[in-house]
Amino acid sequence: MLVFFAEKKLLGIENQRILRIFAQVFEINFKRLLLKAMRRLKDCITLKFEKMYLTSETKKEFFEKFGKNAEDTGTAEGQIALFSFRIAHLTEHLKTNKKDYSTQRALVRLVGKRRNLLDYLKDKDIERYRAIIKELKLRR
């Protein structure tokens, strides 16, 4: 029953029909083919969940290192550090996926947000600004 439910949900009715025709044409056992497809789909889903690069633990580490404490997520230094991490990740992603324009737009927006926070910090407290620039090794 559970496998049947998983077949219906994950593969869909139309894909099952295609697999059934494929099995008839090439004289392959349909159940074996279906199980292979399910395993392949399961592997894809598992890989998708493993690729999270920014977990709540990572965020807490950033805010603990650059902010006042782990729960203080509002400090400019913590947000700048987090934006820098995300910018580095998106830059690496765009090196392999050159035509991903939505990610490119998100990257430009993040750079603008970081720039605004750096300008705010520069106007508010120049020493904190210099410290965060030095610690994150930003070119500015």
Where in the chain are the domains?
A: 2-50, 56-136
pLDDT mean across residues, the chain: 79
The pTM of the full predicted model, rounded to 2 decimals, is: 0.63
Q: Are 91 and 106 in contact (CB under 8 A)?
A: no
pLDDT band at 43 (very low <50, low <70, confident <90, very high): low
pLDDT band at 116 (very low <50, low <70, confident <90, very high): very high
As a residue count, the chain comes to 140
Fold of 56-136: Helix Hairpins (1.10.287)
Alpha-carbon separation of residue 16 from 25, 89, 96 (angstroms): 14, 37, 33
pLDDT band at 118 (very low <50, low <70, confident <90, very high): very high
Alpha-carbon dihedral of residues 73, 74, 76, 82, nearest 10 degrees? 30
- The stretch 27-53 carries a mean pLDDT of 63
- The stretch 94-116 carries a mean pLDDT of 95
**How far is residue 121's CA from residue 79's CA, in Å, rounded to a whole number?**
11
pLDDT at site 6: 43
**How far is residue 85's CA from residue 79's CA, in Å, rounded to a whole number?**
10
pLDDT band at 83 (very low <50, low <70, confident <90, very high): very high
Percent of the chain with pLDDT over 90: 43
**How far is residue 65's CA from residue 63's CA, in Å, rounded to a whole number?**
5
**How far is residue 87's CA from residue 117's CA, in Å, rounded to a whole number?**
14
pLDDT at site 70: 83
The amino acid sitting at 117 is L
